[in-house]
């Protein structure tokens, strides 16, 4: 007897979905003028560089934390302590390292774990699936703010569906 198990989305599909979004975020970084990425903002918000650091901290540290149970505390995160690359090239290198970090740790999250609770970064309690969705959604949220920054600088960002 064969049991067919249906699901909304598989773990591999969620990873592909996220890495698609991450491809787009990387294109936004590339589209940014070097000086503006570190300095430009609107309405006293943070420049895109700080938002990217937050995205990378939560993404790489989030997946690694879920797998290993070892979490950096907030003060150890680059977007909190300000210890991060100051060129676009180094930022893109770090981005690609986080891509590998996610790809390497992701298959170690067993299907059973998605419904279990974790205390992310020693501070945020929630299920594994909701923690991962928070990280992905937070990336979409902050990247969209960079869309407005870019538009206000007269630069056309890559389209939202361009995830390749």
Instruction: Please give the residue ranges that form the binding site for a second copy (CB under 8 A).
Output: 3, 5-11, 13-14, 17, 21, 42-45, 111-112, 114-115, 129-130, 133-134, 137-138, 140-145, 147-154, 160-161
Q: Which is nearer to a second copy, 15 or 92 (CB)?
A: 15
Q: Which is nearer to a second copy, 49 or 85 (CB)?
A: 49
Q: Which is nearer to a second copy, 101 or 138 (CB)?
A: 138
Paired tokens of 132:
């991962």
DSSP per-residue letters across the chain: -PPP---S--HHHHHHHHHHHHHHHHHHHHHS-HHHHHH--STT---HHHHHHHHHHHHHHHHHHHHHS----GGGSHHHH-----SHHHHHHHHHHHHHHHHHHGGGS-GGGGGSEEEETTTEEEEHHHHHHHHHHHHHHHHHHHHHHHHHTT-PPPPTT---
Q: State the nearest-atom distance from the C-beta of 90 to a second copy, in Å.
A: 26
Reduced DSSP (H G I as helix, E B as strand, rest coil) percent helix, strand, coil of the chain, to 5 = 65, 5, 30
Q: Which is nearer to a second copy, 73 or 153 (CB)?
A: 153
Q: State the nearest-atom distance from the C-beta of 156 to a second copy, in Å.
A: 10
Q: State the nearest-atom distance from the C-beta of 43 to a second copy, in Å.
A: 3
Q: Which is nearer to a second copy, 111 or 119 (CB)?
A: 111
Q: State the nearest-atom distance from the C-beta of 25 to a second copy, in Å.
A: 12
Q: State the nearest-atom distance from the C-beta of 89 to a second copy, in Å.
A: 26
């Amino acid at each position: 007897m064969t049991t067919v198990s249906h699901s909304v989305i598989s773990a591999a599909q969620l990873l592909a979905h996220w890495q698609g979004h991450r491809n787009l975020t990387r294109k936004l970084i590339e589209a940014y003028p070097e000086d503006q990425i570190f300095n430009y903002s609107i309405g006293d918000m943070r420049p895109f560089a700080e938002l990217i650091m937050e995205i990378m901290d939560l993404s790489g540290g989030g997946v690694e934390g879920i797998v290993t149970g070892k979490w950096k505390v907030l003060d150890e995160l680059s977007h909190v302590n300000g210890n991060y690359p100051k060129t676009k090239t180094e930022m893109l290198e770090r981005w690609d390292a986080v891509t590998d970090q996610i790809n390497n740790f992701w298959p170690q999250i067993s299907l059973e774990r998605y419904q279990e609770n974790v205390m992310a970064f020693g501070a945020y309690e929630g299920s594994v699936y909701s923690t991962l969705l928070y990280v992905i959604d937070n990336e979409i949220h902050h990247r969209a703010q960079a869309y407005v920054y870019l538009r206000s600088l007269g630069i056309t960002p890559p389209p939202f569906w361009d995830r390749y």
